[in-house]
Amino acid sequence: MRLAYTEDQELFRDTVRDFLADRCTTADVRAAWAADTAISARWVELAKVGVTGIVIPEEHDGLGMGDEELAAVLVEAGRAALPEPLLESAVAAGLLAEFAPDAGWLAEIAAGRAAASVLLPGQRLAVEAAAADVLVIGLADGDLHVATPADCVLTARRSVDRSRKLFTVDFTPTARTLVASDTRRALARAADRGALGAAAQLLGLTRRMLDITVEYAKQRVQRGVPIGSHQSVQHHLANVLIKLEFARPVVLRAAYSLARDLPSAGRDVSMAKIYAGEAADLAARNCLQVHGAIGYTEEHDLQLFMKRAWALGTAWGDAGVHRDRIAADLLGDAPAPPTPAF
C-alpha cells in the first residue's frame, strides 16, 4: 500500500512546476484575460516539456502516460492558473487516441502545433472552441464526432474567469465528422477524466490562494501587529489547510482508480471533485476575507485564482451532480447514471 506519486512522477511534476513559475506569471494570466484566445506561444513550450502529450500514445509522439500524471501536472496548472486548455485538450486527445488515432491530430497536439477542445453529452459550454484546431464532440446517443470550429456555429460567452474563452456550440452532425458510435462508456470515462482534472486544478488553486494569503497575513500590520497573529485570521487559514490536506489524498486515489479503470473509479472521481471543490470554495472565501478590501479588487492577483476556482467548481459537474452520483451508488436512491450530466 502506497498512496503517493513515484519519484519519476514527482520529477516530472516538479519540472512542470518550475516551468510554470517562470513562464506563467500572474502577468501572463492577465494577458490571457485581454486576448481573444488563451492559447499563446506558451503552448509550444508546454509541448516541449511534454505536457500537451501526456495522455497521447508514444507512437504519436506523446508521453503515453495516464490519469495519474495528468492529475499531477494539472495541480501545477491550477497553482499557476495556467490559462491554456490543457485539460480540455487532454480529454479530447484521449478520445482521439481511442477512436481516431490516425486522423493526424495526435502528433500535432503532442508537438504543440495544435490544440483540441471537447464537448461531452450534457455540456453546453466548450472552452476555446474557436481557437482550437479540433473539436471532439460526443453526443448523448453515443456518437462521437471530430470536427473543426468551421463545422459549428459558435457563440462566445463570458466566464467569470475571463481567461476561459467559452462558447456555446451549435453543431450539426454529418457522416463526414462521425468517427464512432456506441462510445457511451468512453464518453463517461472522458467526463471522469475531466472531473478529475478539474479537481486537480482546484487543489493547486487552493494551495496558491492559501500561500498568497499567508504571506499577506504576515506582512499586513494593523494596530501594531501583523493580522496573521490574530486567532480568527489564523483559524480561517488553518481551516483551508485542513480541507486541502484531506482533499489531496482523495484526488490522488481518484487518479489511481481512473488510471486502472477500477469499478469504483466513477465514485472516486466524484468524491475528488467534491472535496477539491469545497477546499477551493473555502479558500476563495476565507482568503478574500483575510485580504479585506484589497482582495475585493481586480487589481489584486487573488481574484485570478478565486475566479478560476469558481469556474472549475461548476465545470465538469458541480458538487450537486457529483453528490447525486455518490448518493445513488451508496444509498441506492436511483440507478447510478452512466455519465454525470452536467
Partner 1 sequence: MDLEFTEQEQEFRREARAWLTANVPAEPLPSMDTREGFLAHRAWERKLFDARWAVVSWPREYGGREAGLTEWLIFEEEYYRAGAPGRVSQNGIFLFAPTLFEFGTREQQDRYLPAMAAGEEIWVQGWSEPEAGSDLANVRSRAERDEERGGWRLSGQKIWSSRGTYGHRLFGLFRTDPGAQRHRGLTYFMVDLAAEGVTVRPIPQLDGEPGFAEVFLDDVFVPDADVLGGVDEGWKIMIATTGSERGLNLRSPGRFVAPANRLIELYRRDPRPAERDAVVRAWMDADAYRLFTFGTVTKLQAGGAIGADSSINKVFWSEMDVELHATALRLLGEAGELDDGDGGWLDGFLFALGGPIYAGTNEIQRNTIAERILGLPRAK
Return the number of the residue (186 or 327) whose C-beta is nearest partner 1: 327
The region of 31-39, 101-109, 235-243, 279-287 touching partner 1 under the rule CB under 8 A is 235-243
Cα–Cα distance measured from residue 277 to residue 240, given in angstroms and rounded to the nearest whole number: 12
327 touches partner 1 (CB under 8 A): yes
Which candidate, 313, 315, 341, 314, places its Cα nearest to that of 328?
341
Q: Figure out which of the listed residues 28, 68, 88, 128 binds partner 1, where binding follows CB under 8 A.
A: 68
Q: Figure out which of the listed residues 93, 100, 198, 233 binds partner 1, where binding follows CB under 8 A.
A: 233
Cα–Cα distances in angstroms (integers) from residue 264 to residues 19, 190, 276, 316, 321, in the given order: 34, 15, 18, 18, 17
263 touches partner 1 (CB under 8 A): no
234 touches partner 1 (CB under 8 A): yes
252 touches partner 1 (CB under 8 A): yes
321 touches partner 1 (CB under 8 A): no
- Taking a C-beta distance cutoff of 8 angstroms, is the pair 259, 67 a contact? yes
- Residues that contact partner 1, how many (by CB under 8 A): 45
Cα–Cα distance measured from residue 40 to residue 53, given in angstroms and rounded to the nearest whole number: 17
Return the number of the residue (227 or 312) whose C-beta is nearest partner 1: 227
Return the number of the residue (92 or 247) whose C-beta is nearest partner 1: 247
Q: Which residues of 147-186 are buried (b: 16+ CB within 10 A; e: fewer)?
A: bebebbebeeeebebbbbbbbebebeeeeebebbeebbeb
Cα–Cα distance measured from residue 87 to residue 273, given in angstroms and rounded to the nearest whole number: 14
Cα–Cα distance measured from residue 23 to residue 56, given in angstroms and rounded to the nearest whole number: 23
The region of 180-188, 222-230, 280-288, 310-318 touching partner 1 under the rule CB under 8 A is 222-230
237 touches partner 1 (CB under 8 A): yes
246 touches partner 1 (CB under 8 A): yes
H/E stretch holding 153 reads: strand 152-158
Q: What is the CA radius of gyration of the chain?
A: 20
CB of 258 to partner 1, least distance (A): 12
Q: Figure out which of the listed residues 5, 40, 159, 180 binds partner 1, where binding follows CB under 8 A.
A: 5
Please give the distance of CA 191 from its chain centroid, rounded to a whole number: 11
271 touches partner 1 (CB under 8 A): yes
Return the number of the residue (36 or 333) whose C-beta is nearest partner 1: 333
Which candidate, 36, 3, 326, 19, places its Cα nearest to that of 165?
36
Return the number of the residue (10 or 141) whose C-beta is nearest partner 1: 10
Q: Applying CB under 8 A, which residues contact partner 1?
A: 1-6, 68, 210, 214, 217-218, 225-226, 228-231, 233-235, 237-239, 241-242, 245-250, 252-253, 255-256, 271, 274-275, 323, 326-327, 330-333
